[in-house]
Amino acid sequence: MSNSEGAVLAVRGNTGVDVDSTTLEDDLRPEEITSIIPIDWDSTDTPSWDAPRPRTPQRPLPADVTQDILIAEVEFEATADAHRFTLDETGYRAPEARPTPQARPARSGGRHRLAAPPSALKGRAALLAVAAGAAVVAATGHIDTAQPTDTDTADAPNAGVNPAAAVAPVDPTLQGDSGVTPGTAPSDMKNFTDQLAQGDKYAKDAAAADAAARRPLFASPVAFGAYQFTSGFAYRWGAFHGGVDFAAPLGTPIHAATDGIVREAGPAEGFGNWIQIEAPDGTITMYGHMYDSGVGVRKGQHVEAGDIIGAVGSNGFSTGPHCHFEVWQHGMKIDPTPWLAAHGIRQPAYTG
């Protein structure tokens, strides 16, 4: 080694490299030095330790960097064989290779596929199947252990088995859950016939009661809009007119104004024919000038408000087809117009 060369200590702990002991410090032994990095410089480049020159930091190249050693590349190649080692000596273990992820198969079907049943449901289905088999064995009393033949195997896909047909006939004497006792039809159907007739009667009575509840308590003698109000309760032609006249075409229906009993139904002087109906409160309503064919009720008959009791005629002292209507209370005639209005029956305007 020349005088222009110096020695710089790098790493301790390795042996096998010849080093000049005169260049070592007093506190180091030759076996503690593994390699020496020679550095050449000119006399003009000799550093001044009193006033160090500022250095421009440089990034080391990959070839200049080793494990804890900064050494020239040429010397590293020359001394690499003197420091052979293996990974087993260092205790290093290479990481295990990760398995290559498998590509997921492409999904088929839409997003609305039915989810697979849970394992608990599968277990319940298995239990139900076992219970069903036990029930069949209990009903038939035996287990079919015969081996299927070739003919049975060939016909199996086309054979439709009725589970009910596999059950043996049930003993009629058995009771409880062991079997079902077949019923016998009664020979006498009279009771059923009587019950049907009674139910039909109840239905008709209920319908009649409902219809009666919907019927009005009072009705107009002639339907509103089917007549003209031509005469009122007043003097007329030198005599008192004790009722009102509803002029309408011949044959127009006449209705009972109230519920009640028919007191008179037939010929009457001046009216040709009349009909008198007495209500439960004693009020009597009278209808006149019907033809004989226009009297539709008989004496003593019960009628309800709104029932058709006759037809408009022009019999007796009449100048045209109309219905003469009167109201009697306590044996006296009263004005029918306010009486009808008091019971919710309206009349058209007076036409004369």
Q: 187-210: per-residue pLDDT in tens?
A: 677 777 888 888 989 999 999 899
Residue 211 lies in a domain: no
24: pLDDT strictly greater than 90: no
Residue 352: the pLDDT is 79
Start-to-end CA distance of the chain, whole Å, equals 160
Number of domains present in the structure of the chain: 2
Residue 37 lies in a domain: yes
Q: What residues form DSSP beta bridges with 36? A: 9
Residue 313 lies in a domain: yes
- Domain CATH number, residue 244: 2.70.70.10
Q: What is the pTM of this model?
A: 0.45
Residue 211: the pLDDT is 84
Q: Higher model confidence: residue 188 or residue 281?
A: 281
Confidence label for 75 from pLDDT (cuts 50, 70 and 90): low
92: pLDDT strictly greater than 80: no
278: pLDDT strictly greater than 80: yes
Which distant-in-sequence residues (6+ apart) come within 8 Å of 267 by Cβ?
Answer: 273
Residue 13: the pLDDT is 44
Sequential DSSP letters for 26-53 = TT--GGG---EEEEE--GGGPPPSSSPP
Nearest Cα residue to 230 out of 81, 351, 311? 351
Q: Which domain holds residue 272?
A: 228-342
Q: Encode 261-304 in three state secondary structure.
A: EEEEEEEECCCEEEEEEECCCCCEEEEECCCHHHECCCCCCEEC
Residue 186 lies in a domain: no
| 187: its two tokens | 């020979």
Nearest Cα residue to 255 out of 173, 340, 157? 340
Percent residues over pLDDT 90 in the chain: 38
Residue 256 lies in a domain: yes
Residue 9: the pLDDT is 42
Q: 115-168: per-residue pLDDT in tens?
A: 666 665 666 666 677 777 776 666 665 555 556 555 554 555 455 555 554 455
The highest-confidence range among 52-61, 173-182, 232-241, 242-251, by mean pLDDT, is 242-251
Residue 5: the pLDDT is 41
Residue 216 lies in a domain: no
Residue 327 lies in a domain: yes
Residue 348 lies in a domain: no
233: pLDDT strictly greater than 90: yes
Cα–Cα distance measured from residue 60 to residue 70, given in angstroms and rounded to the nearest whole number: 10
